[in-house]
Amino acid sequence: MIQAANPTILIYEIVGMVFIILLGCALHFTYALSRRNPVVGVFSAVNESIWEHLKMAFWPSVLYLIAEYALLSNFGCNFFFSKIAGTLITIIIIPTIFYSYTTLTKRNILAIDICTFVVAVVVGQLSSFTLLTYEVLPQIFDIFGFVVTVLLAAVFAVFTFYPPHLPIFKDSVTGKYGTA
């Protein structure tokens, strides 16, 4: 049975959209501004690869998850599952749209990249809202969501310094990988 949608949850998810978009945009520049500080690099885009740009959505989502958990854990169900599902949807949409349109246009267009980021965050947060207000799922879903969040955080951190040599990790400007 689907729960009645709590307007408080919707408000938090809309605030989350704005927070993730603004902080995500800032994270595009923080690594360079920090003079290539490796700790900052874990959380910021260290190059112009698609993978590094996914960090601009992932880390603000995780930071907002932490803040939202303190405020929302009594209102919704499926918290960790819904938050990681929304985040995964966001980080799947970004490369899907990017590779689709660049295959057709043979180039990337900054305005489309920015719109893609915004649309992906909005869809991810709305997906999270839907799952937060859905019927209560078994607790294993929340445990799974928490574990996936931690594992993905570790993957983003490790691949900052040791990325696989695959196209998604290749800097479109320098042709290099990671912090190299």
- What are the backbone angles phi and psi of residue 170, rounded to the nearest 5°? -85, 125
- CB–CB of 52/46 below 8 Å? yes
Whether the model clears a pTM of 0.95, i.e. scores above it, the answer is: no
Q: Where do the domains of the chain lie?
A: 7-165
The CA distance from 118 to 170, in Å, is 23
The CA distance from 82 to 3, in Å, is 14
Q: In this predicted structure, what is the pLDDT of residue 9?
A: 86
The CA distance from 20 to 58, in Å, is 9
- CB–CB of 44/55 below 8 Å? yes
Alpha-carbon Rg for the chain in angstroms: 17
pLDDT tens for the chain, 180 residues long, are 445 567 788 899 999 999 999 999 999 999 999 999 999 999 999 999 999 999 999 999 999 999 998 887 666 578 999 999 999 999 999 999 999 999 999 999 999 999 999 999 999 999 999 998 888 889 899 999 999 999 999 999 999 999 999 999 999 999 999 997
- In terms of Cα–Cα distance, which of 94, 83, 65 is closest to 127? 83
